[in-house]
Structures are given as C-alpha cells and as structure tokens.
Amino acid sequence: MHYENVESLWAATAPPGPALTAFGGDAVADMVVIGGGFTGLSAALHLADNGADVMVLDAAYPGFGASGRNGGQVIPGLKWNPGEIESRYGGTLGPQVVHTVASGPDLVFSLIERFGISCAALRTGWLQPAHTSQTLATVSARAEQWARRGAPVRAVDANEMAALLGSSFYRGGLFDGRGGTIQPLAYTRGLAQAALQLGARIYRDSPVHSLQADGDHWLLTLPQGTVRARRVILATNAYSDQIHDPLRRSLVPVPSYQVATKPLSAEFRARILPGQQGVSDTFNLLRYWRVDATGRLIMGARGLFGQPSQAEALRSHDAALREIYPMLGSLDYDYRWTGMVAITEDHLPHLHDLAPGLYGAVGYNGRGVAMATMMGRLVAQRALGREDGEYVFPVTTLKPILFHRFSEWGVRATVSYLRIRDQQRAI
C-alpha cells in the first residue's frame, strides 16, 4: 500500500508513537488483529490484558486511518435514540445495548487514566445545537429519553446554548455530560503503547495482502512473510480493502474534511466554547467543531468527492465558521486534512463472525472514538470465546450493500441533495 503522511494538526502535535518495525519472516500467533486504529488497538489491548498472544499488523502505522485524523470528540451513544435502540433489539437485549453504547466514553476515559495516556483528554461534555425548530424538538426529545434513563443529558435553551457556544446562531439543543475531547492521534499512540506494555506485538508498514483458511488456522500473506493464526480480527473499517471483499462492501467510505485555524486571540478564546466541549450540529451535512489546548478552532464536515475538493471544502468550512462566529472576520488556517468515515446502511456499527475464527468490528458512522474503543473490547471477548460480562452488542450477519460499486455516486448525489436541503432549511 502506498500511503501519504497525514499533515494534520494531530500529526504536528502528538507525542511520538512507539518505535515499530515492519513485519518480516514466518510467524505463528494465537490472535492477529489487522488494522491499528481504535478498534484494532483496543482489541489488542484487551486480548493482551486477558493473557492472549496477540499481533497487530497495520498497512501503514497505528493511527494512519480515521483514528489519527478525526475530530477527537468523544461522543456518547449512536445516531439512534435510546428508545429506538431498545425497540430495535427488544426484551432484555435492548437496554443492554443502550448501556453498552452509553458506556463508550467511560471506557475511553478509564483507559486513558489506567495507562496514563497523554492525549489532552477533557471530559467537559458534548453539545448538539439545533438549527431549526424541528431539529430542536428532535434533540430535546433525545435529551429527555437519555435523562429518563439516568444519563447526565439535558435540553438547553437558546440563551444557554449561545453562552456555551459563544454564538447565537442556534435555537437551543442538548448538553451531554458524558462526552468530551481528546487528541485522537495521541490517544491512538497511547493505546498502542499500552498494548505493547501488556505484551502485544505491533508492526507498521505491514499490509496483509491475503487471508486464507488453513485447516483450523488462518494464513496471512504479507509482502515479506506469512503469519499463521488461530483467530483473526478485521479492524480495517473505512480503510477495508480486498482481503475480505464482502466486509469492504458492507460499508460506504465517505470523506470528511477538517481545518484548524491559527490560535484565536485571548478575547475570542474566552468567548468561544469557554467550557471546551465538542460540538456537532443538526444540519443534514453536519458541522462539528471544538477548540484545542492552544485555542485553535478545529472544524470538520462531510467532504466532497472529486477535485478540487480540498479548495471547495475549505471555502465551505470557512463560510460555516463565519455564519456561526461572524465576529471572527477573516480566518487564517494552519492545517487541513481529510479522512474516511465508514457509513453503514442502517447507521449502526456491526460486530461480525465472518467465518470460524474470523471476526470483524466496523461501521461507526462518524462516532468511533468511544464506540470503536468499545467494539475493540467486545470483539476481543468474542475472539476469546467469552461473554464480556459488562457490555453486550449483537453479532450480525454480514450484508454487503447491493450495487456497492455505485455507492460513491450515490453518496455524491445524496450529499448534493442534503446540501440543497440545508440551504433551504425551514425556520
């Protein structure tokens, strides 16, 4: 795989990761994890913590994928409301799944604490401001559903939201005390360091080219060797390739684009997100933003396909920031970068038994900091043949998306349609 170095704010400011080498030779491992992002590293950490012999192989390096490029917002829950999750899974399973998805941020912050991961972690909460009266009603109902289940989530009126954001653009929204922010590449590297500390082996520049059943083992072929493993976890998400084509075709990778300004002046730092929450709004093509420890404003939104997407995306992010924070005037940007988000047809993450001894965990729909860390733990338990004991998530049958090769065009058409809908928004 040819990969570029990502010139993001995160790459410029994260502490160096552990020194790693490329895999070479012929090896045997009990457990192999393919992919060194939140899912793969959390899986490796939890496997090693349970005494398993585990090897992680990443085509590039830990954090090369979405885990090193995202907004660093620790977002509780899924796109679905807890009531919808309960109805979907029913009986006792529904509330257990709600507990699992609600606990993602606890798992992230507890790993950070346990392993002393230095990643600018702040548990200051997460905001979802609503831009229309209709979305305000939806978000308020969501807050009410979580509050009824004992979560520290509440509806916020327009005045309070204006004070929290430093902008009167929104009509109110939701405050979720479970969320927060991290430096995502630093967190990824910290997970890698923790997994190494527990005895995992991690290799960079080690693309797995093929994966074949070999008796009751799996044979992995790499450019400079082979690995025989009893159990294999696929944690490649939006960066999935041909090694398991049905898994790749169960997801649509959608680009998301981010920019980081120069540090804001002390006056604006005091006014804009003084509580340092992460924010994602309610536009169809949602905008998400936060400030970092140095006062840079970091904004992301759904990217555009084709060239010159970066210039167009920068213009659209700049327009969004001016709309929300008109007092900022002309802004200077130091960093811009993209990453791929894995979207699933049902907007749910998936835990898969792909074949005997082969597992997959994918599809966080832009909410992977907490959920991928959680799914890494769950898929590790699955590979160990154990129940987690505390968290539960259903194992689903893999369903490749019909006409997947046309999905990029489908996403492009959908993005254009949603943009028009956002521009014509009802008040």
Ligand X SMILES: Cc1cc2nc3c(=O)[nH]c(=O)nc-3n(C[C@H](O)[C@H](O)[C@H](O)COP(=O)(O)OP(=O)(O)OC[C@H]3O[C@@H](n4cnc5c(N)ncnc54)[C@H](O)[C@@H]3O)c2cc1C
List interacting residues with ligand X (CB under 6 A).
34-40, 57-60, 64-67, 69-73, 75, 207-208, 235-239, 241, 243, 256, 258, 288, 300, 339-341, 364, 366-370, 372
Q: Which is nearer to ligand X, 106 or 134 (CB)?
A: 106
Which residues have a Cβ under 8 Å from the Cβ of 285 and sit 6 or more positions away? Answer: 301, 302, 415, 418, 419, 422
Q: How far is the CB of 412 from ligand X (least distance, A)?
A: 17
Q: Which is nearer to ligand X, 81 or 188 (CB)?
A: 188
Q: How far is the CB of 70 from ligand X (least distance, A)?
A: 3
Measure the CA dihedral 231/237/242/244, to 10°: 40
Q: Are 399 and 272 in contact (CB under 8 A)?
A: no
First to last CA, the chain: 48
The DSSP-derived string for 48-62 is HHTT--EEEE-SS-T
Closest residue to ligand X: CB criterion: 368
Q: How far is the CB of 341 from ligand X (least distance, A)?
A: 5
DSSP alpha helix (H) spans, 298-400: 309-324, 368-383
Q: How far is the CB of 67 from ligand X (least distance, A)?
A: 3
Q: Which is nearer to ligand X, 157 or 334 (CB)?
A: 334
With vertex at residue 20, the alpha carbon angle to CA 226 and CA 292, rounded to the nearest 5 degrees, is 130
Q: Which is nearer to ligand X, 38 or 109 (CB)?
A: 38
Q: Which is nearer to ligand X, 16 or 329 (CB)?
A: 16
DSSP alpha helix (H) spans, 258-297: 266-271
Q: Which is nearer to ligand X, 4 or 267 (CB)?
A: 4
CA distance 90 to 224: 48
Q: How far is the CB of 339 from ligand X (least distance, A)?
A: 3
Q: How far is the CB of 329 from ligand X (least distance, A)?
A: 26
Q: How far is the CB of 184 from ligand X (least distance, A)?
A: 7
Strand runs (DSSP E) across 236-365, as ranges? Answer: 252-261, 278-280, 287-291, 297-302, 333-343, 350-355, 358-362
Q: Which is nearer to ligand X, 121 or 370 (CB)?
A: 370
Q: State which amino acid sits at residue 141.
A: A
Q: Are 256 and 299 in contact (CB under 8 A)?
A: no
